[in-house]
Structure 1
Amino acid sequence: MTETLNRPVLVTGGCGFIGCNIADRLASRGRNVVVLDNLVRPGVRENAQWLKSRHGERIAIVIADIRDPISVIDAVRDASAVIHLAAQVAVTDSIADPVADFEINARGTVNVLEAIRLHNPSAPLLFASTNKVYGRLIDDTEIVREGERYRPASPVLADGISENAPLDFYSPYGCSKGTADQYVRDYARVFGLKAVVMRMSCIYGPRQFGTEDQGWIAHFLLSALRGERLTIYGDGYQVRDALHVSDAVDAWLAALDHIALVRGRVFNLGGGPANSISLRELIGLLSELTGHEIAYSFSDWRPGDQPWYVTDTRALHTALGWQPKTSLQDGLLSLHQWLALRFIDASKREALA
């Protein structure tokens, strides 16, 4: 056991938003961490510097790409566990370049799986999947509008979407992540890898550099702080459940700590019905938080956008005792404080105080 704890945990994509929060928590526990990241996305170099400034030699950063199988093998070989988050994460980018999306998300994940299978088969693997593997889920005829949000017409979905929902990949991104999702699941079944799949909903919080294409809550709040006009794709009544990153990290590490109990499982990970919100409702909350009205306009729906998605978190709770602790209001406040300190100049900061 001591030998295993001395070996590092490998976090692919560990300079990204969720990855750096997981790496930070692991290092704070006293674990050594190897972060593998190609450092090409906005904000990741800053996250890398943040990790090194907090943890020094406990964090090793390897600049490499999961599309390179040799680099992956080198990183996987000595890992005590692998947390695989490296990915192409935007539906829009997958439509612009489906081949690159496939090579990163599907082939890159197979590279990770093969490296573990051939060179370190006892290492647990946690994989970051997405709610997009379920496709649109609900036809327009199966939803009703209630106030500022949509809800399913059927009461069967009152607790959200469970892991038993049928897969229906929609968009190249859904196909590439869904392919990887199923490869991880079947490597656990066929080759006996200690693997777990986490199908995540909207994760938000500090260290997130949100854009219009990914990380919508951070993007909305940052635009509000900057006084920039938002574009709403669709009608704004679409609903998601939001999960603060600290709660997401709790779930990931609970799965790692109890891998013998949950190996081979697939879990939906999100904030659940209590933390669900529509785009229009979020704009209202952000107006209160920032103290000014937020300008926005509408554009066409984007391919694969779900009019309603809320996570049923009961499987995770039953298996690991996990449940979200951070309310949406408290979580938005923490993100607001981080974004204001990071992106707003001193004079505007004083005005916000």
Structure 2
Amino acid sequence: MSGGEQTILVTGGAGFVGSNLADRLATGGRRVRIYDSLNRPGVEANLDWLTSRHGELIEPVIADIRDADRMLQAARGVDAAFHFAAQVAVTTSMADPRADLDINILGTFNLLEAVRAQAAHAPVIFASTNKVYGDLSDCPMRPSPHGYHPDHPDLPVTGIGEDRPLDFHTPYGVSKGAADQYVLDYARSYGLRTAVLRMSCIYGQRQMGTEDQGWVAHFLIRAMRGETITLFGDGYQVRDICDVRDTVDAYLAALDRIDAISGRAFNWGGGANNAVSLLTVIDEIGRVIGHAPKVEFADWRPGDQRWYVSDTARIDKALQLSQRRGWRDGLRDLAAWLETQHAPAQPVPAMQAAAL
């Protein structure tokens, strides 16, 4: 089926990754049905951007993923579904675990049942999280000037593989982990073509970074405004950060190869080449904006991993993916985009940022 004849459902399609994926789909001529409650501050701008760029190829459905009837209607006639709608913050899940459960578990169930009833041929590709592996507290970590790294033979520096046992921590980890398993089981139990990407830290354009989620953009926004960045913990936590453009490539490749990967979960992130500590990112932000950001420290947050790096060998092979962008280049691209979106308290000229 050609792209122009397809309708693709993207739940959470006005959000960060969802809007980037929707843009790529519509650019390729597909109709994109954006299902989003627009509850997250700022996402209306993403939806306006999509409709202004693509016109009638974007079909907004403003509704909550917990509404089973609206979800059933939205799944009618779709050729594939990407599921990004979620409660995304550990802190929010601790404060309101019932809402976290309803959105992440019941919402995912609603989508799966809607697709099963209305479009059983349609692939469902779900955005899961590295939090399904818990805080890795059973594995010793050693600090270094460049951040924590594993001091255990079962944790290679190449990263966490899919064979690592699941270990749900915090209500967020439990809800996303349960949804992850529902998506995989609907391939086993009902024959749906499903796949799961367990994502590490994704960053890039159209990210509404906050203290609770989207930390790379959040750090940049705070620094560009001359505001203080709060680091929870000691700042030596390591993550494999990944540009959203590479992430969209992975999701599109998963759709193209769904018959080969159906019923499987993959770890996704920047990989070992993009594994970096929070403090190292802050140092690089200082180089990009021309002055050191202001930083303060606070207590560790529940379930925070000292080190998490995705071993992406399995997904790279299955989807024939190329090497990810280097995180420094991606950070500069994000800073340049943010300059067009935000009014920093201490403006950074674009030429200066590009030259550093």
Q: TM-score range by the shorter chain?
A: over 0.9
* TM-score normalised by the chain length of structure 1: 0.96
Distance 2:33 2:26 in 1: 10
Distance 1:191 1:263 in 2: 12
Matches within 5 A, 1:225-244: 225-244=224-243
The answer to whether residue 80 in structure 2 is matched with residue 81 in structure 1 is yes
1:33 — aligned with what?
Answer: 32
Q: Which runs of 4+ in 1 moved over 6 A?
A: none
CA offsets per residue over residues 286-336 of structure 1, 9 Å max, x none? 111111011111111000100000000000111111134311011001100
Q: Residue 268 of structure 1: SS of its match in structure 2?
A: strand
User: Structure 2: which amino acid aligns with 1:184?
Assistant: V
Q: What displacement does 1:346 show?
A: 10
Q: Residue 64 of structure 2: SS of its match in structure 1?
A: coil
User: Structure 1: which amino acid aligns with 2:328?
Assistant: Q
CA distance 1:351–1:317, change in 2 (3 Å): closer
C-alpha contact 1:290 1:352 (8 A) present in aligned 2: no
Distance 1:111 1:137 in 2: 31
The answer to whether residue 72 in structure 2 is matched with residue 57 in structure 1 is no
CA offsets per residue over residues 41-100 of structure 1, 9 Å max, x none? 011100000001110111111101110001101111110100010001000110110000
User: Structure 1: which amino acid aligns with 2:118?
Assistant: H
Distance 1:292 1:261 in 2: 49
Q: Residue 331 of structure 2: SS of its match in structure 1?
A: helix
2:142 — aligned with what?
Answer: 144
CA distance 1:113–1:207, change in 2 (3 Å): same
User: Structure 1: which amino acid aligns with 2:296?
Assistant: S
Matches within 5 A, 1:268-347: 268-344=267-343
Distance 2:350 2:175 in 1: 45
CA distance 1:352–1:260, change in 2 (3 Å): same
CA offsets per residue over residues 207-259 of structure 1, 9 Å max, x none? 00100000000001111101111111011111000000000000000000111
Q: Residue 217 of structure 1: SS of its match in structure 2?
A: helix
2:124 — aligned with what?
Answer: 125
Q: What displacement does 1:31 show?
A: 0.7
Distance 1:326 1:155 in 2: 28
User: Structure 1: which amino acid aligns with 2:168?
Assistant: F
CA offsets per residue over residues 98-130 of structure 1, 9 Å max, x none? 000000000000000111112211110000100
- Count of residue pairs brought into register by the alignment: 351
Q: What displacement does 1:349 show?
A: 4.7
* TM-score normalised by the chain length of structure 2: 0.96
Q: Residue 10 of structure 1: SS of its match in structure 2?
A: strand
Q: In percent, how many aligned pairs have the same letter? A: 53
C-alpha contact 1:106 1:176 (8 A) present in aligned 2: yes
Gaps of 5+ in 2: none
User: Structure 2: which amino acid aligns with 1:152?
Assistant: P
Range that drifts further, 175-184 or 341-350: 341-350
Gaps of 5+ in 1: none
Matches within 5 A, 1:166-185: 166-185=165-184
Q: What displacement does 1:347 show?
A: 8.2
- The alignment yields a C-alpha RMSD, in angstroms, of 1.5
Q: What displacement does 1:348 show?
A: 2.3
C-alpha contact 2:224 2:347 (8 A) present in aligned 1: no
Distance 1:264 1:240 in 2: 27
